[in-house]
Amino acid sequence: MSKTIFEKIWDEHVIVEREDGDVLLYIDRHMTHDLHFRTFGALKSEGMLIKEPEKLFGVPDHSLPTTAKTLDEIPPGEMREAIETLAAAADELGFEHFSMTDDRHGIVHVVGPEQGISLPGLILVCGDSHTSTHGALGCVSFGIGATEVSHVMATQTLWQRKPKQMRIDISGKLGFGVSGKDVILAIIRKISAAGGSGYAIEFTGSSIEAMSMEGRMTVCNMAIEAGARSGIISPDEKAIEYCKGRPFAPRGAEWNKAVAYWRTLPSDPGATYDKEVEMDGSEIAPMVTWGNSPQWALAVDETIPDPMTEADPLVRADMEAALDYMDLEPGMAISDIKVDTVFVGACTNSRIEDMRAAAAIARGRRAQVRTLIVPGSGIVKKEAEAEGLDKIFTDAGMEWREPGCSMCVAMNGDMLAPGERSASTSNRNFRGRQGLGSRTHLVSPAMAAAASVTGHFTDVRKLIADS
């Protein structure tokens, strides 16, 4: 019987199935961050330990100020307590911990692939919605809630119900200046922010195959923003080569055995999906969101839509509310929107490819607004500095920060003031996401840099042509 890659991995991990259809899954690897620091005390109070500590990996990221290099630089309070508690739990319970002074530390969804924690064929979970990122490596990965985090720590298993299957096929060659961020924003615009609800999405097609691993991670990262449970891409030779030699990847004979298995994972010809979507990648342009959902996205050369042209009264009301909150008018050109702050970072777009894309636009130009450049890990930071990217940014008047979630979550000191507008490479533009009253526009790293050096949204293709 033909199966999708999701079904192959899922079926391999089922321990038992209940009459209601829920299954108990074995979890191969579990990542956790500082926001779940209270879980350890709760487990201890119940007399429970970590079931398989060698399969748990802790990373401080959400609470970590990107201006701090050591714990002493973080003021007393919950941010510091979260980071201290995670470190203490790792020492006591024996799981791998990437402390803030470890060169390997960074954002959990950057560290996972970078360290070979996420690998094809695994089931990986984390108490964070953007765990779907790891699906770019060909593993089933999804976010879990606080109670589920405790359950996985104590049992290395999780009760789940199998989602439906969706395939989104992107064919054709992506255009000049178009990135993985533009692709996923175009997808969400097409199917809506609820279009993937109840589904695991598999991304296929020549546009996906041609993408770098970093680009694929960006696409899978935002599968959750389409309402999906997870996103996945079948592992190919590019993915296998990416995994080779990573610290937590197999070695020697185990590597050869793993690769042989990984090559059996791609979806079988004839595998069936509950829903299929097709798009032409050559028609995708650099994108900018205008509302308070990733589905409200436009090509950079389009204009703000008029809610009065929308027939559905509920959608029309949603559009009107978004325009009011974002202080925009129908018919306004995207290029007329000025920004106050630019943020390049987050688990969506903080890898070395993203740093390079932003630096290519910043080189020889000058930031017109406050601009934060935040690498996704210490390894990304060191690589960028070895290439001189940090100097390009600082010469342009931009801030080069320490790794962390930064302005994506606005709980670590990096945020917008009420009414301020950002061009952000993060994944969410909900009301208040970057601070109370903040107005967030989601873009690619190149588009963010273009907004920085011009002070407004600018078609990055023009700046690339002028370079």
The confidence band for 464, taking pLDDT boundaries of 50, 70 and 90, is confident
Instruction: Sort strands 341-344 and 370-373 into parallel, antiparallel or unpaired.
Output: parallel
Q: What is the pLDDT of residue 416?
A: 97
Neighbours of 277 (CB within 10 A): 16
Q: What are the tens digits of pLDDT across the range 288-313?
A: 999 999 999 999 999 999 999 999 99
27 phi-psi bin (left φ>0, alpha ψ -120 to 50, beta other): beta
Percent of the chain with pLDDT over 70: 100
**Residue 240, token pair as written in the block:** 């296998």
**Average pLDDT of the segment spanning 80-92:** 96
**Average pLDDT of the segment spanning 399-415:** 95
Neighbours of 274 (CB within 10 A): 12
Q: What is the pLDDT of residue 262?
A: 98
Q: Which residues pair with 141 in a beta bridge?
A: 124
Torsion of CA 363, 368, 371, 373, to 10 degrees: 0
**Average pLDDT of the segment spanning 48-70:** 96
Percent of the chain with pLDDT over 90: 98
CA 300 to chain centre: 22
* 113: enclosing H helix or E strand: helix 108-115
**Residue 458, token pair as written in the block:** 């600018």
DSSP 8-state secondary structure symbol assigned to residue 403? S
Q: What is the pLDDT of residue 466?
A: 78
Residue whose tokens read 């000025």: 338
Q: State the chain's mean pLDDT as an integer.
A: 97
Find out whether 404 and 135 touch, Cβ atoms under 8 Å.
Answer: no
Q: Hey, what domains does the chain have and what are their CATH numbers?
A: 5-275 (3.30.499.10), 300-466 (3.30.499.10)
Q: What is the pLDDT of residue 153?
A: 98
Neighbours of 173 (CB within 10 A): 12
Q: Is the pLDDT of residue 467 over 80?
A: no
Q: What is the pLDDT of residue 442?
A: 98
* Helix 378-386, helix 108-115: angle, nearest 10: 80
Alpha carbon distance 231, 223 (integer Å) = 5
The confidence band for 465, taking pLDDT boundaries of 50, 70 and 90, is confident
Alpha carbon distance 459, 358 (integer Å) = 14
Task: Enter the pTM of the model.
Answer: 0.97
**Average pLDDT of the segment spanning 385-397:** 98
Q: Is the pLDDT of residue 404 over 80?
A: yes
Q: What are the tens digits of pLDDT across the range 209-265?
A: 999 999 999 999 999 999 999 999 999 999 999 999 999 999 999 999 999 999 999
DSSP 8-state secondary structure symbol assigned to residue 36? G
Q: What is the pLDDT of residue 43?
A: 94
Q: What is the pLDDT of residue 23?
A: 98
Q: What is the pLDDT of residue 212?
A: 98
Q: What are the tens digits of pLDDT across the range 87-133?
A: 999 999 999 999 999 999 999 999 999 999 999 999 999 999 999 99
Neighbours of 50 (CB within 10 A): 21
Q: What are the tens digits of pLDDT across the range 321-367?
A: 999 999 999 999 999 999 999 999 999 999 999 999 999 999 999 99
Q: What is the pLDDT of residue 429?
A: 97
